[in-house]
Amino acid sequence: MREVPERFRRFGGRHPEVAEAYEKLAAACRQAGPLDERSQALVRLGVAVGAQVEGAVRSQVRKALDLGLTPGEVRHAMLLSLPSIGCPRMMAALGWAEDLLDAPGGGGKGEA
């Protein structure tokens, strides 16, 4: 499991009750339905890509890799957003992800 980003650690230090409530809400959402962890990771990645939130895209890519998804699977999930959000937005999100996907330990260059 990768280290929690420094920005979130600082936030948690300043607002521990809010950070704890956020973590509990996220856990409750994960447990509320039948999707397995891999499916949940792909859904969260798709939402982050569609919302065009760079930090969320990077976070969801890291979490997907931690769950064992391959860089090719992550890239394919991002590619699937193309018809819905358009090429410039999909390419922006893919750009945010590439340094994580190509980093040592990130899985290297995969398909898609």
Q: What is the pLDDT of residue 107?
A: 53
Mean pLDDT of 20-45: 97
pLDDT at position 102 over 80 = yes
Q: Any idea where the domains of the chain sit in the sequence? A: 1-33, 38-112
C-alpha span between 2 and 65 (Å, rounded): 10
pLDDT at position 6 over 70 = yes
Give percent of the chain above pLDDT 90. 83
Based on the number of CB atoms within 10 Å of its own CB, is 47 exposed (0-12), middle (13-18) or buried (19 or more)? Answer: middle
| pTM of the full structure | 0.85
- Can you read off the two tokens belonging to residue 4? 């929690």
Residue of 3 and 76 predicted with greater confidence: 76
Q: What is the pLDDT of residue 25?
A: 98
Region of 3 on the Ramachandran plot (φ > 0 left; ψ -120 to 50 alpha; else beta): beta
**Residues 38-112, CATH architecture:** Up-down Bundle (1.20)
Element holding 21 (H helix, E strand) = helix 16-31
Q: How many CA atoms lie within 13 A of 64 on its CB side?
A: 29
Other beta carbons less than 10 A from residue 107's beta carbon: 19
pLDDT at position 112 over 70 = no
